[in-house]
Each structure stands twice: as C-alpha cells, then as structure tokens.
Copies of this chain bind each other. A is one copy, B any other.
Amino acid sequence: MSEAKKVVLAYSGGLDTSVILKWLQDTYQCEVVTFTADLGQGEELEPARAKALKFGIKPENIFIDDLREEFVRDFVFPMFRCNTVYEGEYLLGTSIARPLIAKRLIDIARQTGAEAISHGATGKGNDQVRFELGAYALMPGIKVIAPWREWDLLSREKLLAYAEQHGIPVEMKHKAGGAPYSMDANLLHISFEGRHLEDPKNEAEESMWRWTVSPEAAPDAPEYVDLEFERGDVVAVNGVRLAAHEVLAKLNELGGKHGVGRLDLVENRYVGMKSRGCYETPGGTILLKAHRGIESITLDREVAHLKDDLMPRYASLIYNGYWWAPERRALQVLIDHTQTNVNGWVRVKLYKGSVSVVARDSKDTLFDQTIATFDDDGGAYNQADAGGFIKLNALRMRIAENARLKRGS
C-alpha cells in the first residue's frame, strides 16, 4: 500500500464511491478531494456535494464540473469521425468518457497538489484500465488507489455491511430485489451489466431499459430528421444550429422516442474475459448511420477504405483505454485530415427501433451523375476503357493459370 496525503476521488455520490470515500479516509488517513462530473448522465450533481460535505470534505476540495460540451466536442465527435464501432457492434459509450475523467482527475491533482487519484472501478473491468492508463500517461508519477483491488469488500454483502456500519445511505436497490444492474451513463449512452444478464442466454427484461421506449411502444408514424455536417461533425439538426452536446441531447431525445439504439451483446474485455452488456445509444446510433451517409458522397473511395481498415484498431485503442496514447493521437491526425470535405446534409428516417438514411447531398459531393447514369453520358466515361482495366487486373491470374496448365499440376 502506497502512502498518500491527498487523494482525488472520482466521486459519483452513489453507494460504491461513498464507501470508497470513507474507506480512503480511514485506511489512508488522507485528505480526499472529490470530483464529480456532469457528462450528461441525467442525474443531479448537487446531492453529491452535500454528501461530500457530510463526509467532512472541505468545500474547496469539492469539484463539480459540467463537462458536457467538452465531452461531446473533443471526445465523442472525434471518435464518430471514424465510424467507430468495437467488435462490429458496440458504440463505445463508456469507453469514450473515461479519458476525459482521467484528464480532469489529473488536472485537479495538479491544482490541489494531490499525489494520488482513486476511482470506483472494479479489478475485473475495463474502466480501471482506462482511468489509470490515462492518468499515468498524463502524469507519470501519479499514485493510483484502486480500492476494489486492495480491500476485502469484494462481495456486495460486505460492501453493504460496511456502508451500514459507517452510516452511508444505501438507496439503489433493484425493484425486483437483489443487486441493481451495474450501470454507466453519459450523453452518449447508458449501459447495463450484471444480474441475470450474466447469463448470455437470458433475454434482457423490458423494464431494464431507461432511455428508449420499446420499438413496440414507439410512435406508429416514422419521423424524418435532417442532419447537417461540417468537417464530419453534426452542427445542425432539422435546420437548427446547435452546440455539440446539444446535438447529441437532441438526437437522444429523437432516437429514444422511436426506440432506436438498443443493443445486447457479449464483448471481449481487455482484461481477458467475455462480458455481457446491454446498451442504449439512441443519438449515437443515428449519428453513426448519418456519418456514413455523408461520407458516402464526400469521401474518396480509397480514403474511405483506409479509414475502414484502421477503424477496428482505433476502436480497440479507445476500448482498451489508450485515448491519451501517441498511437491514438497519430490515428486521430489522419482521421481528422480526412474530414475536411465531409460537409453536407443527410436525411434519416426513424421508425420503431430502426434508423435508415434515405437521402443525402453536399456541395462537396463526389457523386457525379453524368458519369454514373444509365442513360447516355455524352462521352463522359469511355466504356472501352474497362476492357483494358480488366485485362491488366487479370494478368497475374492468367499468367499463373497458364503456368499451372503448362506444368500439368
């Protein structure tokens, strides 16, 4: 156990991090600085301040930040420029918030002179990795206290007992009894793990979902939404110019209303195990589709393919916690460079759980109707060129087959 006189704790105000707060005070005899962020998770933050004060945290050691705009502008949007999806499905809603939290923890550690940070992520998950890789990258000498890897409160029962013993209120219980889902929420998504999801052959219960209505309960009429892009980011929804975080909030509202963005999957964690998670990402699901739509007419084929080839690697970097690593930054430079002409608008249709692109246009379009047409193109394209194109592309295969025939094998 390393020593630390002052520790910055990522503090949600919930049960787990309240227990950690107390445990840090008792175990390390240290001054605790709490950091609570508004990432759009949809919870009041002031109760966290009140609780912190109750634990004796000094007012100047309580940090409550509205990070919504920074989160979407500098993390979510850059990630969507690459049509980023982990393992073909997961939109990385939790992963992308962690590097911002890590950065703020370090900022606050610098500001308050703390030598350590602490967080409530367990030793089995990805979040510990994301928090700590970020922290170490930004401040290599920082100490990290990860209570779940140190203490002996490894079962829920022990945790609850500790809470009771120290007068920490236990509010979150699942209505059907037992532990609640393990959840994480921010402007991009809300996630669910645990309970009966732990068996991948169990269907998620309808009552679990929070941000989206069920497709069955969604309106019977589809809704069309127009998104305007500049350099790969959405800057306006239905003609109304919005800040980045407002864009995402608006799309969440629209997607949620139409049951868009539910996902149920088994993913591979960086720490080596498979894990089942359910996600609601209404706005992100719309964003992904629409971004592919605007790229389809504004991006060069080979640039698009280059991005597609690099995407899984970029997604893994974010999933695994390497946002602040130099290889992620290098990829970002390439990705951002490709978005210069990704301007224009896309119309999507939302209906009972699905989102489809139905139209798109751009002043920077590379779609050339005079060439693509089935009608006479007036010589814009010489069909005879295709003969030579095919012949030379086939040459190596013809030589090989001829060689095979010659040697009779």
Binding site for B on A (CB under 8 A): 83, 87-89, 122-124, 128-129, 132-133, 136-141, 146, 148-149, 154-156, 179, 182, 193-194, 198-204, 215-216, 220-222, 262-268, 271-276, 292-293, 296-297, 300-306, 308-309, 312-313, 316, 322, 324-327, 329-331, 333-334, 337-338, 347, 351-354, 356-361, 363-369, 371-376, 381-403, 405, 407
Contact = CB atoms under 8 A, between A and B. Distances in A.
B358 A203 contact: yes
Given A296-B266, A356-B264, A154 B376 contact: yes
B149 A273 contact: no
A200 B354 CA distance: 20
Contact of A271 (B123, B313, B389): B389
Contacts of A337: 329-330, 333
A264 B390 contact: no
B393 A133 contact: yes
A401 B137 CA distance: 7
Contacts of A391: 136, 382, 385, 388-389
Contacts of A265: 293, 296, 357
12 contacts: A87-B304, A136-B390, A140-B405, A273-B399, A275-B372, A301-B396, A305-B312, A306-B313, A330-B337, A334-B334, A352-B352, A366-B396
Contact of A296 (B87, B156, B358): B87
Contacts of A381: 123-124, 273, 395
A182 B395 CA distance: 23
Contacts of A216: 220-222, 351
Contacts of A376: 154-155
A389 B273 contact: no
A193 to B, nearest CB: 7
Contacts of A300: 325-327, 396-397, 400
Contacts of A136: 390-391, 394, 397-398
A200 B359 contact: yes
Contacts of A403: 364-366, 368
Q: Which 10 A-B pairs have the closest CB atoms?
A: A123-B383, A388-B388, A272-B395, A385-B388, A268-B301, A140-B398, A136-B394, A302-B327, A201-B361, A266-B296
A22 to B, nearest CB: 20
A367 B368 CA distance: 40
